[in-house]
Chains A and B, each alone.
Chain A
């Protein structure tokens, strides 16, 4: 979920419970904060339980922090705070899950005045604003499904590989080669280092056997890089994070079912990376066709044991589950991407103009691009990173360390794995 997690820290630092929780990362707009309170760092949630007034609408203004916290949020929350001190007086990370009814918790309303613990939020924000975020997104799909256009539309800037190479000619490449383009985009003082990993050549050949292997290799290589950095004696303060946080898999809008290549790919990569399947170029499906198609895809996914993001097993608690269930009912999102603007009713909208109408990309009645964008950026960006770090990376790490233990001390050389392993075994070790 959404937090301002400083980059480079391997474990999210625990914060003693604060009154209002972490600041959601939202643009300046009136927003319904009741939904927002779900987007709280899981670790924080363990410490404090909130009861929020659900009809709460406020304005959240995020301004560059020069002074105290300028948060104009009024929340009535009964906060149970826990202050724990280890024997050395060093803060100890809390053990999850924590029963908020343990003794020794000083409730917020019992404090005799303002302590200022919430100012830690301020400090966190300042730090992370300075540090910036990293996000690595991989787009996979056949040629011509609109991957580059969608990425450009998502981040409202020309970040795809096509925009970066001049005189680009669309030729189907003979092998799958991964290209990653890196950009730093900034919004309201917050910098994000966005890396888009493109996979031209995937699924385009006559014989597509094992076309997923280069991708699996790449993902594992990134984990390996991070692992080695982590194992150094002198570690960098901020380990550069090139791990793939999210893989958007593009399904062609056939209207039938998943194809064999889709099943194979998602089976293998679902274990090692968070996959978000989307229906590409969805303007060729009517509403009924879209619903049926989605239903069939969900059936196929379940029948083949493919787990896509958000995975059911990683739901922390009931609120998460409710939110994620809503998302799960809607995947795969049917998206349409474009970077052209047209005039509709006096407004400039992003859309595709055809002889029979204009398809508005950001209109939820037309396509689900807005839902995908909200999922990827506005609400679950941090969660994607957390899942990658806490679950996928840890699984990889455990496996590698066990392997190297079997082979003697030190990490053995990375062998070409095909990304499949016994998930149950890995989970039991986590």
Chain B
């Protein structure tokens, strides 16, 4: 029971306990702790993945790019390159890890190119599982892949066989966000057609891409509208660039062509802003889904497998035990029945005695 007027520190209404302050405490703690996010980018060479990452996070993750020649590419297998960068914005620290997959789709025979990637994802899960089951769980580093941007080429008529196979292989392990790269090669109509085509093919093959959660009914209209727009624009058709071009006196990021300037942050030109919004507002959700869905799937699979392998013998013993017990019980039952039969016989005999 509070007494109004006596304490002048904070306004106390009747029945105010004060745990409404909890989110602030969480907020303060997380800000101090910082966030971790691992983003994987997968796609063929030359689709603008590095440029897009640089544009999204306004950094230069790939300062000295070496583009190998075709002869080298024939020999190369898919590699995994993880680069970490710490970004700070208004006191909030983000430790961003970008996992690049150079060599994907380059070779003439690309059948093995996603094995390396799947193995990497599994390894990260494995490591987290191991840490989680360990004794000191205070500083677990979360390197699990929270989100995978899959770059679809705008040059085709939809998904290629490689795209389909890859997405089917990883949709149960990681959140897939399909992205149409180099969208400045498409007119508006072509873009819509391609998006519809891709969504159709995704549905046709049963690929589970990351679904944006619906806005809660108690959120404001603006947020609901934003979520609706975002959901309707998947897959996002994006253009990346970090070059500053002067347009009408303003310096904006874009690409300069003889026929015009494509602005990266213009929602009419491409979906870059939408992609960034989605990533930023749903970073937490992406992490949650990775933890609750993909990681748990992996964990249960793993433990089942581990359980069955390690204690195969134990299970067999148990089975044997059960059989024995059953047999013993049956034996006992029979004995009991015999005894009952004997007693019955005796009782029958008794009245005969008299």
Contacts and interface: CB of A to CB of B under 8 A. Distances in A.
Given A206-B111, A303-B69, 15 more contacts: A170-B158, A206-B161, A209-B108, A257-B68, A257-B70, A259-B45, A259-B70, A260-B107, A283-B185, A283-B259, A304-B70, A352-B187, A354-B188, A354-B260, A355-B268
A366 B47 contact: no
A18 to B, nearest CB: 44
A261 interface: yes
Nearest to B182: A284
Interface of B: 44-47, 67-71, 73-74, 106-111, 153-158, 160-162, 165, 182, 184-185, 187-188, 255-263, 268-269
A219 B10 CA distance: 88
A252 B70 contact: no
Interface in A277-302: 280-281, 283-284, 286-287, 296, 300
9 contacts: A142-B156, A206-B110, A255-B46, A257-B67, A260-B70, A263-B71, A354-B188, A354-B260, A366-B259
Contacts of B109: 206-209
Contact of B70 (A263, A280, A359, A365): A263
B270 to A, nearest CB: 9
A259 B106 CA distance: 7
Contact of B155 (A144, A261, A263, A356): A144
Nearest to A211: B108
A269 to B, nearest CB: 15
B44 to A, nearest CB: 8
Question: In this complex, which of B47, B155, B157, B258 has the most chain A Cβ atoms within 10 angstroms of its Cβ?
Answer: B155
Given A144-B157, A207-B109, A355 B188 contact: yes
A197 interface: no
A388 B11 CA distance: 92
Contact count band on A:
35 or more
Given A206-B110, A356-B269, A259 B73 contact: yes
Contact of B161 (A205, A256, A258): A205
A264 B108 contact: yes
Question: In this complex, which of A263, A264, A353, A354 has the most chain B Cβ atoms within 10 angstroms of its Cβ?
Answer: A354
Interface of A: 142-146, 170, 172, 204-209, 252-264, 280-281, 283-284, 286-287, 296, 300, 303-304, 352-360, 365-366
Contacts of A257: 67-70
Contact of B71 (A252, A254, A304): A304
A352 B268 CA distance: 17
B192 to A, nearest CB: 13
B155 A142 contact: yes
B108 A208 contact: yes
Contacts of B268: 355
A263 B154 CA distance: 22
Contacts of A253: 46, 155, 182, 185
Given A252-B46, A257-B70, A354 B184 contact: yes
A172 B69 contact: no
A261 B185 contact: no
Contacts of B257: 283, 286-287, 356-357, 359
A352 B71 CA distance: 35
A283 B262 CA distance: 11
Rank and list the top 10 A-B pairs by shortest CB-CB distance, nearest first. Answer: A254-B46, A357-B260, A144-B156, A356-B260, A357-B259, A284-B185, A170-B157, A258-B70, A260-B74, A256-B46
B247 to A, nearest CB: 10
Contacts of B73: 259-260
Nearest to B270: A355
A254 B155 CA distance: 10
A252 B155 contact: yes
Contacts of B46: 252-256
A357 to B, nearest CB: 3
Contacts of A263: 70-71, 74
A76 B158 CA distance: 59
A353 B44 CA distance: 27
Contacts of A352: 187
Nearest to A301: B70
Contact of B45 (A208, A254, A365): A254
Given A257-B67, A284-B184, A355 B269 contact: yes
A207 B69 contact: no
A300 B70 contact: yes
Nearest to B166: A206
Given A283-B257, A354-B187, A300 B69 contact: yes
B47 A254 contact: yes
A359 B259 contact: yes
A50 B89 CA distance: 74
A139 to B, nearest CB: 15
A281 B108 contact: no
B296 to A, nearest CB: 31
Contacts of B187: 352-354
A303 B162 contact: no
B106 A143 contact: no
Contacts of A356: 184, 257, 259-263, 269
A252 B106 CA distance: 13
A313 to B, nearest CB: 23
A289 to B, nearest CB: 9
Nearest to B47: A254
Contacts of B153: 144, 252
Given A264-B108, A283-B185, A358 B160 contact: no
Contact of B160 (A204, A264, A283): A204
Given A209-B109, A356-B263, A280 B255 contact: no
B182 to A, nearest CB: 5
Contacts of B260: 354, 356-357
B188 A145 contact: no
Given A170-B157, A359-B259, A366-B258, A303 B188 contact: no
A209 B185 CA distance: 29
Question: In this complex, which of A144, A261, A356 has the most chain B Cβ atoms within 10 angstroms of its Cβ?
Answer: A356
Nearest to A144: B156
A354 B154 CA distance: 15
A359 B186 CA distance: 11
Nearest to A262: B70
A395 to B, nearest CB: 26
Contact of B259 (A207, A284, A360): A360
Contacts of B259: 283, 356-360, 366
Contacts of A170: 157-158
Question: In this complex, which of B69, B111, B268 has the most chain A Cβ atoms within 10 angstroms of its Cβ?
Answer: B69
A29 B208 CA distance: 59
B157 to A, nearest CB: 4
Contacts of A359: 257, 259
A284 B162 CA distance: 23
